């Protein structure tokens, strides 16, 4: 098990100009008030409604840790279009006493670009085994969900810092359970995960921290107390009631 986390804290390092749109994001407002966010467990989920800034925070942490903004390892260097915010310029990260030997930033919305980057590497260096660490098959030659799992099951080697932005985007419920098992196994091999998610299945992973981001603040909560879990549970228990309200 991991004794010391690779990333222990994130805080604002300087004032963000008022004309910068990120200054209005709830996550930035709360960081100003809270001063810092502490990471205390090997797995931390960051959850919240669209627009609260959870993916912006995840992305900023990844870039500040040296990862490519569109995903990949610290050695990946590609950019199809600069759409990431500049929040990374205004945050300070505190590393743990241990140093990770592996790491990856998985960003669901730009995963296609990452797969294309690997295709280019394979064309430029035929026979070099570009896809050996990704299941031996081009990620473009697999379904979206298969390519996600192929990456996680073959490329993630343990003793690593893995930052995932909405990994459930491509995964069925069954594959989400498989992902949970993989995360648990990697934690046993000394890894740390920071994950933004909307999935009430994924955030049920035992012994994980759940940080819920709302308009009112950032709080550690039980996953059963998140809006995501409560809404999903209420819908599954009584879909007819929900549908009647929504559609009539």
Q: Using an 8 Å Cβ cutoff, are 39 and 58 in contact?
A: no
Output the pLDDT for position 46.
94
The CA-atom distances, in angstroms, between 43 and each of 65, 93, 115, 180, 190 are 17, 17, 26, 11, 11
Q: In 3-state terms, the chain is what percent helix, strand and coil (to 5)?
A: 45, 20, 35
Output the pLDDT for position 124.
62
Output the pLDDT for position 150.
82
- Asked if the 7-109+158-247 domain carries CATH number 3.40.50, the reply is yes
Q: Reduce the DSSP state of residue 162 to 3 states and report it.
A: strand
What does the alpha-carbon distance between residue 192 and residue 100 come to, in Å, rounded to a whole number? 9
Output the pLDDT for position 83.
59
Q: Using an 8 Å Cβ cutoff, are 200 and 168 in contact?
A: no
Output the pLDDT for position 93.
93
What does the alpha-carbon distance between residue 201 and residue 23 come to, in Å, rounded to a whole number? 32
Output the pLDDT for position 73.
75
* Token code pair at residue 216: 């009112």
Per-residue pLDDT 10s for the chain (248 aa) are 445 799 999 988 888 888 888 888 888 888 888 778 999 999 999 998 888 888 889 999 999 998 888 777 787 766 555 556 788 888 899 998 888 889 989 887 666 676 676 666 656 666 565 666 676 666 676 777 787 888 888 888 899 999 999 999 888 999 999 999 999 999 999 999 999 999 999 999 999 999 998 888 888 999 999 999 999 999 899 889 888 888 87
CB contact set of 18 (below 8 Å; sequence gap of 6+): none
Chain segment 174-218, per-residue pLDDT in tens: 999 999 999 999 999 999 999 999 999 999 999 999 999 888 888
Output the pLDDT for position 177.
95
């Amino acid at each position: 098990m991991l004794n010391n986390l690779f990333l222990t804290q994130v805080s604002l390092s300087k004032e963000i100009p008022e004309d910068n749109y990120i200054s209005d994001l709830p996550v930035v407002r709360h960081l100003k008030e809270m001063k810092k966010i502490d990471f205390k467990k090997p797995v931390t989920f960051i959850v919240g409604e669209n627009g609260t800034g959870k993916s912006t925070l995840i992305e900023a942490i990844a870039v500040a840790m040296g990862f490519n903004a569109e995903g990949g390892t610290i050695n990946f260097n590609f950019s199809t279009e600069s759409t990431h915010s500049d929040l990374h310029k205004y945050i300070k990260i505190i590393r743990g006493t241990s140093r990770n030997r592996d790491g990856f930033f998985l960003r669901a919305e730009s995963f296609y670009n990452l797969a294309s980057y690997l295709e280019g590497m394979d064309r430029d260096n035929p026979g070099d085994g570009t896809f050996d660490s990704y299941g031996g098959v081009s990620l473009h030659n697999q379904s979206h969900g298969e390519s996600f799992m192929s990456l996680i099951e073959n490329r993630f080697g343990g003793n690593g810092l893995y930052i995932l932005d909405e990994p459930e985007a491509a995964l069925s419920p069954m594959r989400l359970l498989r992902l949970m098992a993989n995360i648990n196994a990697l934690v046993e091999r000394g890894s740390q995960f920071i994950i933004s998610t909307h999935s009430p299945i994924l955030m049920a992973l035992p012994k994980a921290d759940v940080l819920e981001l709302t308009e009112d603040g950032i709080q550690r909560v039980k996953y059963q107390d998140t809006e995501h879990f409560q809404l999903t549970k209420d819908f599954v228990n009584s879909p007819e009631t929900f549908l009647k309200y929504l559609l009539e």
